[in-house]
Amino acid sequence: MGELRRIADYPALLDEAWAQAHAPRAPDAPTVISTFAGCGGSSLGYHMAGFRELLAVEWEQNAADTFRLNFPRVPLYHGDIAKLSVEECLRLANVKPGELDVFDGSPPCQGFSTAGKRETGDARNQLFHEYCRLLRGLRPRAFVMENVSGMVKGDFKLVFAEIFRTLKGCGYRVKARLLNAQFFGVPQSRERMIFVGIREDIGREPSHPIGWSEPVPASSVHPHFSQILRSGARDNWCPADTMFPTITKAASTTSRTGYMSGGHFIRTRDDVERRPTLREFQSLGSFPSPFAFAGTREDGVQRIGNSVPPLFMRSIATHVRDILGR
């Protein structure tokens, strides 16, 4: 890890990133297709990094509604990825095989192994294979795949090994590394496995970005915060100079995020205890304030909890762009 920078003004950082996301794009800007796009956390990160998004794929209704609110010019395939053919994907994105720069996605992979037992019929396995089916057909110059950190722990090491072999078999040089969002400008400790692949004929090695920021203190995010609850116990308060608790990414649509578990409270400087507002969750998830959420507060909180933090993805996308020389 390189020299870490202290973020003195986190709101200003978000404002700057939002401006980057909405800056004009050159005709030759790098391109991306985002699958399992959710409400657009990864998409926003790519936009911040100067990419032009050609297509997003998402099936959940509220997530799709939120995506449309924020990315009205990006074509959205709202439906089952298993029903999206390679030909239709190419048509919607208006590209030919081999032309796309980056293919992105966070397919669930937990079903590959349950306590050492393969569950070949698990639908979550199939979603990973659908991702690979499109990867083979699109033949992008690079891909980025994000997933839970637990796949390299215990029995889930079998998941990791099979995923790695399958991705390499698609014709890519592949590297995987655990990265923590707290070192990429995001005010939460959130560790994720990031796979980066570079197509074999490109002749370049995949690699990962180096962390650049110190953990962002909660008081820098919201000056009126006095303390933030670290866990579900109401008496377990942590000082204002510590990070916000990790968001737990849902393994499926029936799972609840860490935010939704009812275990997070804040104490303000006037000694009032309360749950964070949606806007506060939004800021802690590195979503700039203009980003809009469809539906209820609970819908918005779940969208944030299920998203890749945009600032985190901005660093990854910028790094992959540099590898490709784009």
pLDDT in tens, 205-244: 999 999 999 988 776 777 666 555 544 433 333 333 333 3
Query: Whole-number mean pLDDT of the chain?
Result: 83
Integer Cα distance of 105 and 172 in angstroms: 16
Q: 52 and 189 share a domain?
A: yes
Which residues lie closer than 8 Å to 118 by C-beta, 6 or more apart? 112, 158
Q: 292 and 204 share a domain?
A: no
* 77 inside domain: yes
Query: Helix H segments across the chain?
Result: 10-21, 41-48, 61-70, 86-93, 123-138, 157-168, 218-221, 278-284, 297-305, 310-324
Tell me the CA end-to-end span of the chain in Å, nearest whole number.
Answer: 24
- Looking at the structure of the chain, the number of domains it has is 2
Q: 182 and 236 share a domain?
A: no
Identify residue 323 by its one-letter amino acid code. I
61-70 vs 297-305: helix crossing angle, rounded to 10: 90
Q: 233 and 266 share a domain?
A: yes
Compute the average pLDDT of residues 144-149.
86
* 174 inside domain: yes
Q: 100 and 227 share a domain?
A: no
* 284 inside domain: yes
What number of other Cβ atoms are within 10 A of residue 32's Cβ? 31
Q: Do residues 213 and 183 touch, judged by C-beta distance below 8 A?
A: yes
Q: 125 and 25 share a domain?
A: yes
Q: 109 and 155 share a domain?
A: yes
Q: 245 and 96 share a domain?
A: no
What tokens appear for 139 in the block?
């033949």
* 2 inside domain: no
Q: 37 and 86 share a domain?
A: yes
Q: Give the catalytic positions in this structure.
A: 109
Which residue is it, tokens 């969208």?
303
Q: How confident is the model at residue 264 (pLDDT cuts 50, 70, 90)?
A: low
Q: 186 and 234 share a domain?
A: no
- Which among 264, 315, 319, 246 has a CA at the least distance from the CA of 5? 315
Q: How confident is the model at residue 111 (pLDDT cuts 50, 70, 90)?
A: low
* 5 inside domain: no
H/E segment holding residue 225: strand 225-229
The CATH number covering residue 140 comes to: 3.40.50.150
List Cα–Cα distances, 234 to 118, 263, 267, 275, in angstroms. 39, 8, 11, 12
Q: DSSP for 29-91, please give it.
A: --EEEEES-TTSHHHHHHHHTT-EEEEEEE--HHHHHHHHHH-TTS-EEES-GGG--HHHHHH
Q: 206 and 62 share a domain?
A: yes
List Cα–Cα distances, 106 to 96, 144, 229, 235, 325, in angstroms. 23, 9, 29, 35, 24
**Rounded to the nearest 5°, which phi and psi values hold at 116?**
85, 0
* 47 inside domain: yes
pTM: 0.87
Question: Tens of pLDDT along 173-196?
Answer: 999 999 999 999 998 888 899 999
Q: For position 220, what pLDDT does the model report?
A: 76
* 60 inside domain: yes
Q: 101 and 176 share a domain?
A: yes
Question: Tens of pLDDT along 125-134?
Answer: 678 999 999 9
Question: Tens of pLDDT along 238-248?
Answer: 333 333 333 33
* 264 inside domain: yes
Beta partners for residue 267, in sequence order: 227, 273
Q: What is the domain range of residue 65? A: 10-213+308-324
Integer Cα distance of 196 and 245 in angstroms: 27
Q: Reading across the β-sheet that carries 225-229, which strands appear in turn?
A: 237-238, 225-229, 266-268, 273-274
Beta partners for residue 85, in sequence order: none
Q: How confident is the model at residue 276 (pLDDT cuts 50, 70, 90)?
A: confident
